[in-house]
Structure 1
Amino acid sequence: MVLAGPEGWKTQPSRRHLTWFLLARIAVITIFLGGAIFFQLRAGMAGGHPALGYLYGLIVASYLHALASVLSLPRLRNLVFFTQTQIAWDLLFCFCLIYVTGGVDSLFSFSFVFVIIAASVFFSWRDILLVASASAILYGGLVDFQYYGQLPVLPGLPLSQEITGQQAFSSIFVHVAGFLLTALLCAALAERWRRSEQALQAQKIDYDELEALNRVILENISSGLMIVNEQGRIRSFNRAAEQITGFALQQVYNRDVRELFPRLDVFGEDGYRTRQRAEADIVDAEGQVRTLGYAASLIRDPQERLLGLLVSFQDLTMVKEMEERLRRADRLAAVGRLASAMAHEIRNPLASISGSVQLLMEGENVSDQDRRLMGIVVREAERLSGLLTDFLAYARPKKPQAEVCDLRQLLAEALQVCRSDPRFAAVEVEVRCPEGARFLLDHDQIRQVIWDLLINAAEAMQQRGRIRVSVDPDSGGIAVEDDGPGVPVELRERIFEPFFTTKPGGTGLGLATVHGIVEAHGGQLIVGKGELGGACFRILLGRQAVLN
């Protein structure tokens, strides 16, 4: 007997179903046989009716078999064979029960129906018909043997040895027809139930797959996702959120969102605050300020119960920096157009003034007072010419002419200039550059950048202190730092703007020009605090600029 359904469908009985089957069998036996014994005893037949002893024996045998089955079930592997033996036992039990209770006159001839119903839970429709056929054979054989007087009679059994042929035929016909009709009905219902179970299982597998896909999407989506509960505490934090903020889920789980991200306006005293689109600055795990674009919406379960607030966000820091560079480029373009229009209008008269005053100074009748005043005019004209030169260098920067450059040699040249400059008389300049550090860049422009940064550092330290210039070939970076007062945080975003200066008499174009040259090389200029305690300007040219 094979547990197989239509179209090759096979099933393996579950231990849970078999356990319920064994319990149901005990309950049915207890109800019917126990009830029969109870009513027999109540009717005063306990005095020695021999059939009661056999019923007691069947009940004891059934309980012992059930106990053995329950104890052996957890250790068995072949549950199909176990199920087949249980059905075979039930057929044998029903045969014995009908035999000891009168054969053709037994009130328990319907018990085979329970076996057929039980078989429909585990077997295919073919096997159900096989069980029904076995029931018909057992019952028919019992009646036939009884009809022909060949049935052994145990002592005290109330078996009638004289039954008519019509009585035997009608009993067999009715019971066999009942067994087969029950089998057909149970087979149809069982097949329908199994198809429904298959469909439900397939649907459940689809839901499991959908849930797994949702988890994968949640972990791999590029936007950060965070769920906040009704107490304002973070309950979910996906991988993108960890990458953007630098915080792991273990670090933020169950923490108050207002404490961790105070500028993220998604929760307040009045509860959740939904947002269609907003921006806020946060401080990541490394202490860096990042600009986030975020949206917040309520989430509900299928029963429309509020689960929390879903906050989705993206890192806009690079976008904001790009926008700032574009704005700076726009300003630079506007200044460049203005410079092109005004350069000759300013320089030509300025050269005429300076040349004329110098000719006047060469006259013999010029007094010392007038000569001193004319000297002031010449010096201011030269200063104005230098300012115009700086202005034009910023407004109309030259395109870098990239060439192979030895950074160690370039820094040596800058250091040589420092030694001859009185502003570096009390300044110690330290250079850290490995041998053979070769970069692809514009030699003259980068030397100008280093020189301007050195002058800026010396002036910030009041021309007394220590400056360190270091080169990192691995990252393509050059750092210039000092032990001066540093750059205040609130000014770090403005020091690269043209005409912004904090020095008396400064033009505000030095750092702006440096910034423009670095950007023209495709790099970045970042200001922060250095290891010496003062300002640190980092030129990040990238590994693409490193040749070795």
Structure 2
Amino acid sequence: MSERLDENQRDEPRGGDDGGPRRLIEGLSTHAIFTLDPEGDIITWPGPAQALYGYDSSEMLGRTVAVLFADDTESDSVRGDLLQKAKNSSHEATAVQCRADGSEFWATLTLSPIYNDEFDGYAIVSHDTTTQRQETERLKRQNDRLKEFTDILVHDLRNPIQLIEARLSLYRETGEIAHLDTIADTTARMEVLVDDLLTVAKHGSAVADPDRIDMGEVIRTAWEATGKQSPEATLQTTELESVYADSNRLGQLFENLFQNALEHSGATVTVSVGPLNTGFYVEDDGPGISDELRKQVFNHGFSTSQDGSGYGLSSVRTIINAHGWGVTITEGDAGGARFEITDVDILNNQPEPES
């Protein structure tokens, strides 16, 4: 602290009065400096401290510094822990502080011992770091989101790659051009998927410009990408109304739900898709998801399968959130998992308006 004071004092205007040190302390607008006696009671409370905490000096002089701590546990440990650590050398700590009006803020506290032949108390520099902490937490959330979507991206590309490999093998065997057409369509879909997921990862963007989507076509395409991995699996669909959605993200949602059913319900699973009053459902006839796990399955990286990546249903949650929809997991008619997607903008198959 002495170096900081010396550095600021060089900028202090030269004058004939002896009020320089007082003006120095009161002029440090970003820091509040005050002092304590050896017992931790406040003995000076200058202007910056009054401005930061909202207490007048008449309210604070003689009171324990512990009253400034919002957390009762931290308050109780001030005398025996924080002050003890700063008795022989400067000590820095981060704590939630409380203002006179009851509001709270994060502060970095630097405590330094004061010696005049013998120990005479403490000097405290309190710096409001709430803004910096909020920015740090925002950056951490952003980085976590980027990592999450990178993992999801890798996961969601697996099915298209497997489809390409299968079609390429068939083309080599048969020479049929139709397989190359499927490969071309799949690679185009992968490119759009990458762009969409990166957009969500970087900006957390909602679907701003949804299209009118034929649900039947999206479901068939999604089953083509996943269901053929298990030829004995069955897809049952009930006619669904058109919806407003992002086509590629909606397709990925169905792919991930289908893939989840195949992974957890076996090769002969039956997957059903049908309408709800405000959306649609996807259910299977597998073992289902217990009540305890239903709150966890959408978490990033969570999987009940040893071989599962834990990103499929996390991706489902992200896509649903991007559309502003809701999702609930219940038990299907056959005892399997049933995902109910609600709050969907359903068109009731009204004719598309002419442009």
Same fold (TM over 0.5): no
- Scaled by the length of structure 2, what TM-score is found? 0.42
Task: Pick the structure with greater CA Rg.
Answer: 1
Structure number with greater CO (CA < 8 Å, separation at least 6) is: 2
Structure that is richer in helix per residue: 1
Quick check: which one's strand share is greater? 2
Q: Normalising by structure 1, what TM-score?
A: 0.28
